[in-house]
A and B are shown apart, each in its own frame.
Chain A
């Protein structure tokens, strides 16, 4: 009884201590970052686990030269967007975070990022990367990688790259495999993977301004090209070339088992295909509608918090360290995504896979990061799926979708 009670009391006291400590933490953690004397000036950087090791070296070099300490905080990449938006206003967010370019629209409308001045180094990056990192003409981040889809070809089944979609189907049929070509669609379709075909009909989601940024007032998805694309979807769905039953996993598995000579996918599926013993080549996506087939490009980079008290140091670190060829090459080596810095990309192009995806990226378009894009997805995919399954008249469904998007973004 006696021992028991002491134990309980002790446990109670520890619990109380812990809860007080928690309460203390809630208020305490900002005190560190508000100091601004040079000795204790610290840049806090959020980074995902893969890239943390590379940044460690860059940070050490930066600290040595400038005296500014860099604290790297590892975060789960998928959770950074929400955490950054929630924490920056409270003053507890980092000075710099790793980010995907399509988060920028959200970051800007929440006022959590500040522009980064690339200065004269702007020309050293691939143009599509800088365009992607910009919102309304202002650059908000230093890009480090470019990622996009292209056509993977099983060289054993198809020796040459197809020039058009029809060539691809012909080559695929000639190969005698289960599928002439594969692209992931899924029950709610996959507009991202089908987008190159859509652009090949001249129907981008939004029109662009002179500087390459998207114009939310110019919803061009519903133009004549869009309707032609809808008709094409219905036709290919009926022919069995496109199927909502083919999900990402199935498409990958079938390609890796040699059931199709072609797969439209990104660099993330290449290592597994090679491991499955397939000799892959990366080609441009063939056009279905006559115009160039432009996929979306995803750009990753680093952005500076609007509430950073170390804005100058942050800018210096990003432009001159993250933007250096050495760091960009190192980041390429850990992630396998093509570097955004032109010189680093050229060095990385000795690998034919990287060169292949990079060649497609050079012609591609950034995924719109404008907030209006978020309202497009919810109507886009399901409508494509309905057209592919033949649930209605393609033109009518496409027009209905355009009207719904228009109403949602008004």
Chain B
């Protein structure tokens, strides 16, 4: 956007052929222009009012966000919002800073949606974030304790009235025999005789205590849900807890957290689970792990896993080769067909060119994953359109034979990808001036030579960067692989979940996301590796295309 701006700004001042600053007339007109621009930017009551109104909206939102963040004590985000708000005010109230006024919004979005996201994925690669390790240690401990509470089998249901006295809560329970008892977290259950009892035999009140209504229970539910009234002095008898405020059940917990030692103890088996500080979980001496654990930073462990574990290292080389082959062949075939069609349809003598062009662009208009699914159906060996209609019922295993599946993938990708190349090449061809061709013909060049020596190099100048981006896109073309073959066919005797048509990104998906378990750390580590590969290829290719640019 900035480039276009400068070009437009400069074009009238320095017409083609005149060097800038050569004539004094240009100088004055430019400085006048500059003065006008400065004036327009600084004055105008209306402009100022609009500016103040908009900035006050920005500031209002900023202050609100700051208040919320202050209450949440989220200092990192608080600082970021504070800085951004301050910078925004400084930029827009300043008289100068004109470029910054245009750039600031875009830069802020770039920061939030690009830099932060990429940085965060990078950070994840150094953690064990994933299934079983998705929160803090405190959450893991709470969750372990809560889910280790187990209702004693066949224990009775106690009718419950929650009582309050001087801010502490007690349970008034009636057991199925009609015995009424009272107790709290600190005082084990003791029978009482002077309770008020309703018609159904349930104790509903006790002198000296205030019974809580449902509304009161709801408003204090965190405190009430945390109450566990010991049945007796012996903790092994279990405790009464209430899940709903109107009935209590007898629970036994088999996990105890020792805060001082930082260990979890299973009271039934007396196994001690220790936080070893590495895996982000409580681990017993024999290696058994208590899940959930929590998120910790694991350094390079994910990268070690990516290269170290047999199930990944085995197929890694063949998958990498196929990924490169797939990406390269996809680019070459789509570019070849797209270019050929572009040249054909660029011929002015052809009738109905526009109709053909629209038809050719159609594959590009369908969502790729949908097309892949449709193709998967059409390539079905027994019932698919391709075999039934085109090959007269021959059962050709398009997607289940290793090599045919590879061919099918590239073929379907050709179908999906050539319209894009066709569009790009058509545009580039039309931007090559006719005179060049005429001049070449006059000089005695044959049509083949014109194309090979003149048109193609000129074409490549504008198209080569798109070919590189197309390569990068196909390198990570997950949709196509996942929808068409799901990486298959797979050699079941190999014992790894990687098939013949898996590319790196689909292999990562299979390795890091097995079933419902998610290893985001490993996936992020892989995506960094893939990023490095793609970046390397792109850098080398861009270096090569520099040579082409010198043609201009």
Question: A-side interface residues toward B, CB under 8 Å?
Answer: 1-2, 5-6, 8-17, 19-24, 26-28, 30-31, 36-38, 41, 66-68, 81-82, 85-86, 88-89, 102-103, 105-106, 108-112, 114-117, 119-120, 137-138, 187-188, 243-247, 249-250, 306-307, 309-313, 315-316, 319-320, 371, 373-379, 382-383, 386, 389, 391-392, 397, 400-401, 403-404, 407-408
Interface residue ranges of B77-119 to A (CB < 8 Å): 77, 80-81, 84-85, 88, 92, 101-102, 104-106, 108-109, 112
B285 at the interface (CB under 8 A from A): no
Q: In the complex, are the beta carbons of A17 and B516 less than 8 A apart?
A: no
Q: In the complex, are the beta carbons of A13 and B216 less than 8 A apart?
A: no
Chain B residue at minimal CB-CB distance from A22: B112
- Name the one of B41, B139, B147, B151 contacting A117, with C-beta atoms under 8 angstroms: B151
Question: B-side interface residues toward A, CB under 8 Å?
Answer: 37, 40-41, 44, 47, 50-51, 54-55, 57-58, 61-62, 64-65, 68-69, 71-72, 74, 77, 80-81, 84-85, 88, 92, 101-102, 104-106, 108-109, 112, 131-132, 134-136, 139-140, 142-144, 146-147, 149-151, 157, 214-219, 221-222, 224-225, 242-247, 249, 291-292, 377, 380-383, 399-400, 485-486, 488-490, 492-493, 495, 497, 510, 514-518
Q: Give Cα A82–Cα B104 distance, bound, in whole angstroms.
A: 35
12 additional A-B pairs beyond A20-B81, A24-B62, A378-B515, beta carbons within 8 Å, are: A16-B105, A24-B61, A38-B219, A81-B516, A110-B134, A117-B151, A117-B244, A187-B488, A313-B221, A378-B510, A389-B400, A397-B492
Q: In the complex, are the beta carbons of A27 and B65 less than 8 A apart?
A: yes
Closest Cβ–Cβ distance, residue B115 to chain A (whole Å):
13
Chain B residues closer than 8 Å to A392, beta-carbon distance? 492-493
Closest Cβ–Cβ distance, residue A93 to chain B (whole Å):
11
Q: In the complex, are the beta carbons of B54 and A17 less than 8 A apart?
A: yes
Chain B residues closer than 8 Å to A187, beta-carbon distance? 399-400, 485, 488-489
- Name the one of A36, A247, A320 contacting B380, with C-beta atoms under 8 angstroms: A247
Overall SS of chain A's interface: helix
Q: In the complex, are the beta carbons of B382 and A41 less than 8 A apart?
A: no
Closest Cβ–Cβ distance, residue A250 to chain B (whole Å):
5
Closest Cβ–Cβ distance, residue B540 to chain A (whole Å):
36
Q: In the complex, are the beta carbons of A383 and B58 less than 8 A apart?
A: no
Q: In the complex, are the beta carbons of B62 and A310 less than 8 A apart?
A: no
Chain B residues closer than 8 Å to A377, beta-carbon distance? 515
Q: In the complex, are the beta carbons of A114 and B147 less than 8 A apart?
A: yes
Q: In the complex, are the beta carbons of B383 and A311 less than 8 A apart?
A: no
Closest Cβ–Cβ distance, residue A303 to chain B (whole Å):
12
Chain B residues closer than 8 Å to A116, beta-carbon distance? 243
Q: Give Cα A134–Cα B355 distance, bound, in whole angstroms.
A: 62
Chain A residue at minimal CB-CB distance from B291: A109
Q: Give Cα A187–Cα B377 distance, bound, in whole angstroms.
A: 11
Q: In the complex, are the beta carbons of A404 and B495 less than 8 A apart?
A: yes
The 6 closest A-B pairs by CB, nearest first: A374-B515, A24-B65, A111-B143, A89-B135, A111-B292, A15-B105
Q: In the complex, are the beta carbons of A400 and B243 less than 8 A apart?
A: no
Q: In the complex, are the beta carbons of B291 and A114 less than 8 A apart?
A: no
Chain B residue at minimal CB-CB distance from A102: B516
Chain A residue at minimal CB-CB distance from B513: A374
Chain B residue at minimal CB-CB distance from A311: B225
Q: In the complex, are the beta carbons of B292 and A110 less than 8 A apart?
A: yes
- Name the one of A23, A38, A138 contacting B65, with C-beta atoms under 8 angstroms: A23
Q: In the complex, are the beta carbons of B514 and A31 less than 8 A apart?
A: no
Closest Cβ–Cβ distance, residue A257 to chain B (whole Å):
12
Q: Give Cα A311–Cα B245 distance, bound, in whole angstroms.
A: 10
Closest Cβ–Cβ distance, residue B61 to chain A (whole Å):
5
Chain B residue at minimal CB-CB distance from A122: B151
Closest Cβ–Cβ distance, residue B126 to chain A (whole Å):
19
Closest Cβ–Cβ distance, residue A63 to chain B (whole Å):
11
Chain A residue at minimal CB-CB distance from B139: A89
Chain A residues closer than 8 Å to B400, beta-carbon distance? 187, 244, 389
Q: In the complex, are the beta carbons of A31 and B65 less than 8 A apart?
A: no
- Report if A312-B217 is in contact (Cβ < 8 Å); known contacts: A20-B65, A110-B292, A392-B493: yes
Chain A residue at minimal CB-CB distance from B216: A38
- Report if A138-B497 is in contact (Cβ < 8 Å); known contacts: A37-B219, A187-B400, A378-B514: no
Q: In the complex, are the beta carbons of B151 and A114 less than 8 A apart?
A: no
How many A-B residue pairs have C-beta atoms within 8 angstroms? Tell me. Answer: 256
Q: Give Cα A380–Cα B278 distance, bound, in whole angstroms.
A: 33
Q: Give Cα A10–Cα B147 distance, bound, in whole angstroms.
A: 54
Closest Cβ–Cβ distance, residue B69 to chain A (whole Å):
5
Q: In the complex, are the beta carbons of A120 and B157 less than 8 A apart?
A: yes
Overall SS of chain B's interface: helix
Chain A residues closer than 8 Å to B47, beta-carbon distance? 6
Chain B residues closer than 8 Å to A82, beta-carbon distance? 518
Q: In the complex, are the beta carbons of B244 and A312 less than 8 A apart?
A: yes
Q: Give Cα A403–Cα B85 distance, bound, in whole angstroms.
A: 60
Considering residues A5, A12, A383, which has the most beta carbons from chain B within 10 angstroms of its beta carbon?
A12
Q: In the complex, are the beta carbons of A306 and B58 less than 8 A apart?
A: no
Q: In the complex, are the beta carbons of A249 and B377 less than 8 A apart?
A: yes
Q: Give Cα A13–Cα B62 distance, bound, in whole angstroms.
A: 12
Q: In the complex, are the beta carbons of A109 and B380 less than 8 A apart?
A: no
Q: Give Cα A15–Cα B61 distance, bound, in whole angstroms.
A: 12
Q: In the complex, are the beta carbons of B243 and A315 less than 8 A apart?
A: yes
Q: In the complex, are the beta carbons of B58 and A20 less than 8 A apart?
A: yes
Closest Cβ–Cβ distance, residue B214 to chain A (whole Å):
6
- Name the one of B40, B61, B140, B245 contacting A20, with C-beta atoms under 8 angstroms: B61
Q: In the complex, are the beta carbons of A20 and B62 less than 8 A apart?
A: yes
Q: Give Cα A117–Cα B109 distance, bound, in whole angstroms.
A: 47
Chain B residues closer than 8 Å to A10, beta-carbon distance? 50, 54
Chain A residues closer than 8 Å to B135, beta-carbon distance? 88-89, 110-111
Q: Give Cα A75–Cα B244 distance, bound, in whole angstroms.
A: 27
Q: Give Cα A375–Cα B140 distance, bound, in whole angstroms.
A: 24
Q: In the complex, are the beta carbons of B219 and A36 less than 8 A apart?
A: yes
Q: In the complex, are the beta carbons of B244 and A319 less than 8 A apart?
A: yes
Considering residues A19, A37, A397, A400, which has the most beta carbons from chain B within 10 angstroms of its beta carbon?
A19
Q: In the complex, are the beta carbons of B58 and A17 less than 8 A apart?
A: yes
Q: Give Cα A325–Cα B218 distance, bound, in whole angstroms.
A: 25
Chain B residues closer than 8 Å to A309, beta-carbon distance? 221-222
Chain B residue at minimal CB-CB distance from A307: B139
- Name the one of B68, B143, B214, B382 contacting A28, with C-beta atoms under 8 angstroms: B68
Closest Cβ–Cβ distance, residue A138 to chain B (whole Å):
6
A-B contact pairs, 28 of them (CB 8 A): A13-B55, A16-B58, A19-B84, A23-B80, A24-B68, A27-B65, A31-B72, A37-B219, A38-B215, A38-B216, A67-B215, A81-B516, A85-B518, A89-B134, A89-B139, A105-B516, A119-B243, A187-B399, A246-B383, A247-B380, A312-B225, A312-B245, A316-B245, A319-B244, A374-B515, A378-B514, A379-B497, A386-B492
Q: Give Cα A30–Cα B68 distance, bound, in whole angstroms.
A: 9
Q: In the complex, are the beta carbons of B65 and A401 less than 8 A apart?
A: no
Q: Give Cα A406–Cα B74 distance, bound, in whole angstroms.
A: 45
Q: In the complex, are the beta carbons of A109 and B62 less than 8 A apart?
A: no
